[in-house]
């Protein structure tokens, strides 16, 4: 009998809860702006998104920032929707299982931090001060 018998993989709501915890853990000066970013969890990235990114294997995309980075926003921008961070549950679980050396929560924090970096226009050095994974 394995440790996984009778257990289920975390569902979208559990992944979202981990992501919200990650957003709450950002430095105070970023939390308010981060809270305005929509968070969506899907099983996989939609085909049109994968095509646009020229990704053939849907397991290669664990997360995506969809929006205009704050460093590029203008008052003349007419947003088509809210800035959104997409998390893709099955690729996240696949990466977590294949790594075997990080917790699922730590992986989700890393992905959310990376996508927030796109939103805020952070450099790699900026990211490293928030997410030690980048050191």
* pLDDT tens per residue, range 60-114: 999 999 987 777 776 666 667 789 999 999 999 999 999 888 899 999 999 998 8
How far lies 44's CA from each of 86, 124, 132, in Å?
10, 26, 27
Q: Is 63 in contact with 86 (CB distance < 8 Å)?
A: yes
CA distance 135 to 125: 8
Mean pLDDT computed over 7-28:
90
Please state, for a pLDDT cut of 90, what percent of the chain lies above it. 49
Helix axes 89-99, 104-120, angle to 10 degrees: 120
Residue 49 half-sphere exposure toward CB, CA atoms < 13 A: 16
Q: What is the pLDDT of residue 122?
A: 77
Mean predicted lDDT score pLDDT of the chain: 86
What are the structural domain ranges in the chain?
Answer: 12-69+80-134
Stated pTM of the model = 0.84
CA distance 97 to 89: 12
Residue 82 half-sphere exposure toward CB, CA atoms < 13 A: 11
CA distance 55 to 48: 10
Tokens for 9, please give them: 């993989």
Under CATH, what is the fold of the domain 12-69+80-134? Answer: Zincin-like (3.30.2010)
């Amino acid at each position: 009998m394995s440790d996984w018998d009778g257990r289920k993989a975390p569902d979208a709501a559990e992944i979202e809860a981990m992501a919200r915890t990650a957003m709450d853990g950002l430095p105070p000066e970023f939390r308010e702006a981060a809270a305005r970013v929509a968070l969506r969890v899907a099983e996989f990235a939609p085909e049109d998104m994968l095509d646009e990114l020229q990704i053939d294997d849907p397991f290669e995309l664990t997360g995506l920032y969809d929006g205009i980075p704050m460093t590029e926003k203008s008052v003349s921008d007419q947003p088509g929707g809210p800035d959104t961070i997409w998390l893709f549950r099955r690729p996240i679980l696949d990466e977590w299982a294949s790594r075997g050396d990080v917790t699922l929560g730590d992986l989700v924090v890393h992905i959310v931090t990376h996508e927030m970096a796109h939103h805020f226009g952070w450099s790699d050095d900026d990211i490293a001060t928030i997410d030690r994974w980048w050191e």
